[in-house]
């Protein structure tokens, strides 16, 4: 199981049915009140003793390995909240089961350790070929000279940008505007512009609670980024992005 913090749901896959003496290929979600079974034609084979972790940067649950029938395997799968997709990284851990996996949000990577047939190996997963090129703007609020950040009234972000990505074999234009909220990147706006024909993508907030969250737990920094809307799939080369102007306006009251 893994907790999808973006969607507020616990994701469960597979396991072993003792009464029927067989592995399971079911996907279930728990929203805090009810379990819901999800049915998909594309999904991992029935398995047990696998490991799952939630990648909050890419907003996907990662599944690796496990036992299929009686044999451990080395498959990597992603759950995006709607569909399962199998990834095929060239470099990956060997077949294993009963291993441990957790997500390191400070470094943006999933950490895998050990397992049957895996020995004492440690592996790191950074999102693989679904990484997207990006441009990040970091605003150090401490440099403003204002010590009371509760005086911030509003925050406005503007990027003139375009992007190109491809995950299904079809090029897709557009960029997502992201903001770093405490422990993960969150998409707040988007456009459909390509890298040769840029267009504005903007976002604004006047919510004081949200503004404090964006200050990143006391580090007093605002972080924004633009990335291609379509993650770059393992079938294609790296996507592209272009920006010719970016602006962040912070309005505040001077005591």
Contact 173, 192 (CB under 8 A): yes
Is residue 11 domain-shared with residue 87, that is, in the same domain? yes
pLDDT greater than 60 at residue 217: no
Same domain, 122 and 172: no
The closest of 146, 175, 154 to 163, measured between CA atoms, is 175
158 and 232: one domain?
yes
Closest of 114, 113, 132, 112 to residue 59, by C-alpha: 132
Same domain for 170 and 123: no
Q: Which long-range contacts (CB under 8 A, 24 or more apart) does 129-132 make?
A: 129/87, 129/89, 129/232, 129/233, 129/234, 130/58, 130/60, 130/78, 130/87, 130/167, 130/231, 130/232, 130/233, 130/234, 131/231, 131/232, 131/238, 132/165, 132/227, 132/228, 132/231, 132/232, 132/239, 132/241
- What pLDDT is attached to residue 235? 43
| Chain centroid, CA 226 distance in Å | 14
Whether 70 and 13 share a structural domain: yes
pLDDT digits (tens, 9 = 90+) for 234-247: 444 557 889 999 99
Domain boundary among the residues 106, 128, 150 is at: 128
**Digit-coded pLDDT (tens) for 3-57:** 999 999 999 999 999 999 999 999 999 999 999 999 888 999 999 999 999 998 8
Tell me which residue range forms the domain holding 82: 2-128
Give me the pLDDT at residue 232, please.
Answer: 66
Domain boundary, last residue among 128, 152, 174: 128
The pLDDT of residue 238 is 58
Residues 11 and 76 grouped into a single domain: yes
- Identify which has the larger pLDDT, 221 or 69: 69
CATH number of the domain bearing residue 160? 2.60.120
Which of 10, 31, 7, 1 has the alpha carbon at shortest distance from 186? 7
**Number of domains making up the chain:** 2
Q: Is the pLDDT of residue 153 over 60?
A: yes
For residues 225 and 157, state if they share a domain: yes
More confident residue, 143 or 215: 215
The whole-model pTM stands at: 0.55
**Tens digits of per-residue pLDDT, 52-82?**
999 988 889 999 999 999 999 999 999 999 9
Same domain assignment for residues 157 and 114: no
pLDDT of residue 204: 96
* CATH code where residue 63 lies: 2.120.10.80
Between these two residues, 144 and 107, which has the higher pLDDT value?
107
Pick the last residue of a domain from 101, 128, 155: 128
The answer to whether residues 144 and 237 belong to one domain is: yes
Domain co-membership, 103 together with 161: no
Q: pLDDT band for 216, please (50, 70, 90 cuts).
A: low
Verify that 151 and 99 share a domain, yes or no.
no
Return the residue matching tokens 């199981």.
1
The residues near 237 (Cβ < 8 Å, ≥ 6 apart) are: none
**Shared domain check, 189 and 101:** no
Q: 89 vs 121, which has greater pLDDT?
A: 121
Looking at per-residue confidence, does 133 or 200 come out higher? 200
- The share of the chain scoring above pLDDT 90, in percent, equals 54
């Amino acid at each position: 199981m893994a907790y999808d913090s973006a969607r507020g749901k616990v994701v469960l896959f597979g396991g072993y049915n003792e009464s029927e003496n067989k592995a399971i290929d079911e996907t279930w979600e728990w929203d805090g009140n009810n379990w819901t079974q999800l049915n998909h034609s594309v999904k991992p084979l029935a398995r047990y003793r696998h490991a799952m972790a939630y990648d909050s940067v890419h907003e996907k649950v990662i599944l690796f390995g496990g036992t299929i029938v009686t044999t451990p395997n080395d498959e990597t799968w992603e759950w995006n909240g709607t569909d399962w997709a199998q990834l095929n990284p060239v470099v990956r851990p060997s077949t294993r089961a009963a291993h441990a996996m957790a997500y390191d949000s400070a470094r943006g990577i999933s950490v895998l350790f050990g397992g049957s047939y895996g020995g004492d190996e440690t592996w790191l997963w950074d999102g693989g070929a679904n990484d997207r090129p990006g441009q990040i703007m970091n605003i150090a609020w401490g440099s403003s000279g204002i010590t009371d950040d509760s005086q911030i009234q509003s925050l406005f972000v503007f990027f003139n940008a375009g992007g190109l990505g491809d995950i299904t074999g079809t090029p897709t234009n557009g960029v997502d505007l992201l903001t770093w909220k405490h422990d993960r990147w969150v998409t707040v706006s988007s456009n459909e512009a390509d890298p040769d024909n840029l267009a504005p993508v903007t976002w604004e907030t006047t919510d004081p609670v949200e503004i404090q969250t964006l200050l990143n737990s006391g580090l007093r920094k605002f972080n924004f980024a633009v990335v291609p809307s379509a993650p770059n799939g393992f079938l294609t080369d790296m996507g592209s992005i272009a920006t010719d102007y970016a602006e962040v306006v912070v309005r505040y009251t001077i005591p």
